[in-house]
Structure 1
Amino acid sequence: MSEPGNATPAVREADTKTVRRAVSGAAMGNAIEWYDYGVYGYLATVIKQVFFPEASPAAGTILVFAGIAIPFILRPLGGIVLGPLGDRFGRRQVLALTILLMSGSTFCVGLIPSYTTIGIWAPILLLFFRLVQGFSTGGEYGGAATFIAEYAPDRKRGFWGSFLEFGTLGGTILGAVLATVVQLGFDEQTLQSWGWRIPFLVAGPLGLIGFWLRNKLEDTPCFQQAETEGKTTTSPFKEVLTNVWPQILQLIGFVVLLNVADYILLTYMPTYLTQVLGISDTESLLVLIGVMVVMMALIAPVGSLSDRVGRKPLLLAAAIGYLVLAVPAFLLMGMKAVFPVVVGLVIVGGLLLLMLGTIGSALPAMFPTRNRYGGFSIGYSTSTAAFGGTAPLIVSALIAGTGNDLIPAFYLMGAAVIAIVPILVMPETARVSLAHPTRIPGTDKFVPDRTPAMAGAAAADKGERAEH
């Protein structure tokens, strides 16, 4: 805590217009990442025919989802390289690089000739560009979350942080819609020839828009103040390993559940509904898009709720909810009628919403400013690589091997068991300043410090409530 009479100056708050621009620029990168997953997931059948035409149906599906899982091998490397660079040289510069790499790799997938044209080089090039994306996304999410959290006012960090995942849902919906439009708008021959390329090529201009938005902004107020005070790190990777490893372990444990739920619902579910349950492509598309649109509408209110009641209660409710309700939700989907399928998806999506609306504010606040980008990126990318991107591949392989349609539910339950402990031990960071962390005496842990400005804000809130 700050000593009396020696208070640390509060970080200047950006005006609302600047915060909006910062949030838009940061969320755009996350939207592009998930736009790619949306396109890839909804075009899985076409991708299988274009790149793996000689594989059996089951093997082809596994190979397609390997195209999602294998690039995650490089995601931790991206976090290790790009995250600490963001602590050393600034958030904005690294984020400008990641959005170009992500959108460029997705764009290039749309340029790859088919297997029938260049043979084995087609899947090799597909893997190469997806590996580039895996590396770049290792530094994207942690940086985008840090960028928004450090620009947002502390008292509304939950509200503004929720828009990062608004980008996730928006990108997924856009990818799903465009993928479906080309599938419905072209005959099979045209689709396999060049129609499938259109959604991938759209990522190019989207990336340029995101780059322009990010390049117009200054770096975050937190980082600028740390630079002014000489408190940025010159050995970012070393400091991350020595100073914030407990928080990294906590983040890894929680993100297991977040990513398993994310990738099962947003990436694997189209295949699960159509190929496992036998629901028509049109019905599954409409239901999934409807659920995601509702989640988009509710995500900001969930973020605001976390500002009032805290992050931990919402995260804990999500973990317990998956432990108790995952099997009932997938049993409902297994009934294959529209209404129970919708109810099952609403349960899975609603529990995910509690996490998506909260993590953009909760997780960056676990780290001090000088190690925030690196610590967050390394922990998040490591957990995502191990448990998130692999989820569709593992689940589809287990269903093929066992014939049990409830495998996704069991996978969610296992992830929930892992996540409950780190949620319980992580600090509550609602209404706490990001700018002035301090070390807990006798430990290696850092916690954000309540600044005089925050204390005054809390007192003002209390006075306002008393008057009413």
Structure 2
Amino acid sequence: MSDVRQAAGSVGDGPHGAHPELEVNHVTVVEKGPLKKAISGATMGNLMEWYDFGIYGYLAATMTKVFQPETTDQTTGMIITYAVFAVSFLARPFGGIFFGPLGDKIGRQKTLAITMIAMSLGTGLIGLLPSFATAGWWAFAALIVLKMVQGFSTGGEYSGATTFVAEYSPDKKRGYLASFLDTGSYLGFAIGAAVVAALSFGVGDDAMLDWGWRVPFLLAIPFGLLALWFRMKIEESPTFESTQAANAAAEKHDEIDESQTQLGLIGIVKHHWRPLLIAMALVGATNTAGYSLTSYMPGYLESNHDYTTLGAATATIPALIALSLAVPFVGKLSDSIGRKPVYWIAIISTLVFTYPAYLMMENKSLVWLSMLMLAFSVTFYVAMSASTLPALFPTASRFGGMALSYNIAVSLFGGTAPTISESLVKLTGSKASPALYTMFFAVLGGIALIGMKESARRPLPGSMPTVGSEEEAKELVETQHDNPDLDHDELPFHAHDVAKAEADGEDLGDGKRLAGV
């Protein structure tokens, strides 16, 4: 890693008892250049991912007409269309199971390049499919296959991107820097909405039904190539590289706990079941709110409140842009007051604002305000995800833990949100019933939050502290015993000291005399 290094210093036992002193050589220093490349590359990929998923939601009513028989009634057709959307999410856990351990083995950067290529192709090929009128149910089946390809590749995308950015970010700025990922996510939704709205306005409803719907999907290929170009310019996560080296050396000498090594699926569940459950609950709360605003809302407005495709798409754009711009500020706030207080704002605002927002949609003059009310809670949710969720797992199995928990939760609860929400409308006859689904998961998220440990400003589990300059590293060492965010008992001194000693050619026999041994 050319611009990412371990700051120079000495190793030694400290005067404060059992644990060793934190020395400057323990601290990972990340230069600004590689950090900016990492953030921009991961953000561009995330933007592309949610553009891909967003356009399907914004074209839901059109896709219903293109890929289903004309005899299908509108409500049933929309439920089927949303079910296809949910099918793509059912493939995500399998993608997570595949890409998560792969990312822990070969690295974050290489894995994210693979997922970017597969995701762009899966989305772009949808634009080349024949319609139901041309190929019948074969067209519908092909749509399902490509949505599953899209979902499988995405299974490694968000979990990998959050892991990558969280590991690259200095501890004190992780909330702020990692939040740019979700700025990219919701800008991707906004760009998708803008593309659909512009096409609908420019070519009209008939042309959109005939050929216009293909354009947003086909654009995924050049957009994906652009995102891939950004990703290929970034270096591997410094935290991943240093931890891999440390764990390899410590494992060689039988000096590392099993839970801190790279684990497979069974090992992750065995050692990290508690953070898995916490992550799944928080992801469920975040994504039922998030997908209700993005993927579900355009179709909901069309099928339940008689909006046009153009009207439904434009109704959500201001809220999505406001959300995207606000996310970094909320991320920065979390670095100051903590992740948990910000999550509580998201949960409480969901319980307070969601039901009234759905009631207000009956009045088209208030739809802008109702979208902003929904976006308020989503902003506080999503600004936390990229910094909080990776901090639940140790570095050696972080990608795998993130991929497993995130993709299971998002497939079961997020991807099914449009289908379940529209089914609730049909079953209950209440157009506000989808609000209850979102509110239920907010309650579950609150229960999980009670058991979650605060992670703001603290080193990631299984890693030594990360800072943005050598000056910060020296200051951290000098103030270590007055720093409430630094717990020496949780820092992997021994693994890193074993790696350093081995790299320096020191004897590692029975007479080991390293810090903490």
Question: Please, which of 301, 318, 334 is the counterpart of residue 329 of structure 2?
Answer: 301
Return the offset for 1:187.
3.9
CA displacement 1:269-318 (0-9 Å, x = unmatched): 11222321234444433331011111122111111000000000010121
3-state SS of 2:26 partner: coil
2:63 corresponds to 1:47: yes
Q: State the one-letter code of the partner of 1:19.
A: L
Q: AA paired with 1:78?
A: G
**8 Å contact from structure 2 (residues 46, 158) kept in 1:** yes
In 2, Cα distance between equivalents of 1:280 and 1:142: 35
1:441 paired residue number: none
Contact preservation (8 Å) 2:92, 2:407 = yes
Alignment partner, residue 412 of structure 1: 438
Letter in 2 for 1:21: K
Q: Which has the larger radius of gyration?
A: 2
Q: Tell me: CA distance 1:57–1:227, structure 2 relative to 1, closer, same or farther (3 Å).
A: same
| Maintained 8 Å contact 2:197/2:314 | no
1:131 aligned onto 2:167: no
Partner of 2:413: 387
Distance (Å, rounded) in 2 between the aligned partners of 1:227 and 1:398: 48
Match of 2:349 in 1: 321
State the Cα deviation string for residues 374-416 of structure 1 (Å, max 9, x = none): 0011001000011000000111111122210111211111111
Q: Offset at 1:34?
A: 1.2
SS of structure 2 residue aligned to 1:113: coil
1:21 aligns to 2:47 (yes or no): no
Structure 2 residue 136 is matched with structure 1 residue 119 = yes
Residue type at the aligned position of 2:314: L
Distance 1:37 1:78 in 2: 16
Q: Name the CA distance, whole Å, in 1 between partners of 2:317 and 2:183.
A: 14
The Cα of 1:324 is off from its aligned counterpart by: 2.7
Which of 173, 177, 192 is 1:156 aligned to? 173
What is the Cα-based RMSD across aligned positions, in Å? 2.3
Q: Which moved more, 1:193-202 or 1:28-37?
A: 28-37
After TM superposition, the structure 1 = structure 2 runs for residues 31-110 of structure 1, keeping only pairs within 5 Å, are 31-54=47-70, 55-110=72-127
The residue identity in structure 1 corresponding to 2:279 is L
- Count residues in correspondence: 448
Distance in 1 between the 2:423 and 2:479 partners? 53
Any residues of structure 2 matched to 1:360-399 within 5 Å, and which? Answer: 360-399=386-425
Q: Is the 8 A contact 1:88 1:233 kept in 2?
A: no
* 8 Å Cα contact 1:87-1:233 kept in structure 2: no
Contact 2:74 2:303 in 1 (8 A): no
Paired with 1:26 and 1:141, the residues of 2 have a C-alpha distance of 9
**Structure 2: 5+ residue stretches without partners:** 1-16, 249-259, 465-472, 485-517
Matched ranges for 1:333-352 at <5 A:
333-334=361-362, 336-338=363-365, 340-352=366-378
* TM-score (normalizing by structure 1): 0.90
Note the C-alpha offset of 1:422.
0.8
* 2:235 maps to amino acid: E
Correspondent of 2:302 among 274, 279, 282: 274
Does residue 483 of structure 2 align to residue 433 of structure 1?
no
How far does residue 348 in structure 1 lie from its aligned partner after superposition? 1.2
Query: Cα distance 1:2–1:420, how it changes in 2: closer, same or farther (>3 A)?
Result: farther
The residue aligned with 2:231 is 214
- Check the 8 A contact 1:432/1:454 in 2, yes or no: no
Q: Is the 8 A contact 1:159 1:300 kept in 2?
A: yes
Instruction: Please tell me whether residue 357 in structure 1 is matched to residue 373 in structure 2.
Output: no
- Could you tell me which runs of 5 or more consecutive residues in structure 1 were left unpaired when the two chains were aligned: 439-450, 463-468
Which of 405, 408, 429 aligns to 1:403? It is 429
Q: Residues of 1 paired with 2:449 and 2:333: CA distance?
A: 18
Match of 1:241 in 2: 269
1:76–1:226 CA distance, 2 compared to 1 (3 A) = same
Q: Are the structure 2 counterparts of residues 455 and 383 from structure 1 closer, same or farther at C-alpha, using a change threshold of 3 Å?
A: farther
Residue 259 of structure 1 pairs with residue 287 of structure 2: yes
Q: What is the one-letter code of the residue matched to 1:16?
A: K
Q: Would the aligned equivalents of 2:22 and 2:477 in 1 still touch at CA under 8 Å? A: no
SS of 1:244 mapped into structure 2:
helix
> What is the Cα deviation at residue 333 of structure 1?
2.3
Aligned in 2, Cα 1:456/1:372: closer, same or farther, shift over 3 Å? farther
Contact 1:433 1:454 in 2 (8 A): no
